[in-house]
Amino acid sequence: MAKKTSKINIVRLGNFISFSSLKEIGNKILESFSGMIDEFRLSHHEAPAIDRIDAYLLTMILNEEYGGHTLGITAADLKTDDEDEFYNSIFGGKNPRNDTAVVSIKKLSPESIDSEIDYNVLIARTLKVSLHEVGHNFGLTDHASYKVASDGALCPMSKGEINKFGYRGYVRAIIDGRGQTFCEECTNFLSKAHGYKRQLMSLVKDGLESTPNPLKPLRQVPV
Per-domain residue ranges for the chain?
A: 7-202
Residue whose C-alpha is closest to residue 68's, from 93, 42, 100, 36: 100
DSSP SS3 for 195 = coil
Residue-wise pLDDT for 35-51, tens only, equals 899 999 999 998 777 88
Helices (H), 67-161: 116-137
Question: What mean pLDDT is predicted for residues 16-35?
Answer: 94
Return the percentage of the chain with pLDDT > 90, whole number.
63
Return the percentage of the chain with pLDDT > 70, whole number.
83
> Does the pTM exceed 0.85?
no
Whole-number pLDDT of residue 205? 41
In the CATH hierarchy, which top-level class contains the domain 7-202?
Answer: alpha beta
Check whether 161 has a pLDDT greater than 60. yes
Specify the DSSP class assigned to residue 87.
G
Partner residues linked to 101 by β-bridges: 71, 94
Residue whose C-alpha is closest to residue 123's, from 13, 30, 20: 20
Whole-number pLDDT of residue 93? 94
Residue-wise pLDDT for 83-128, tens only, equals 665 568 899 999 999 999 999 999 998 988 889 999 999 999 999 9
Check whether 23 has a pLDDT greater than 70. yes
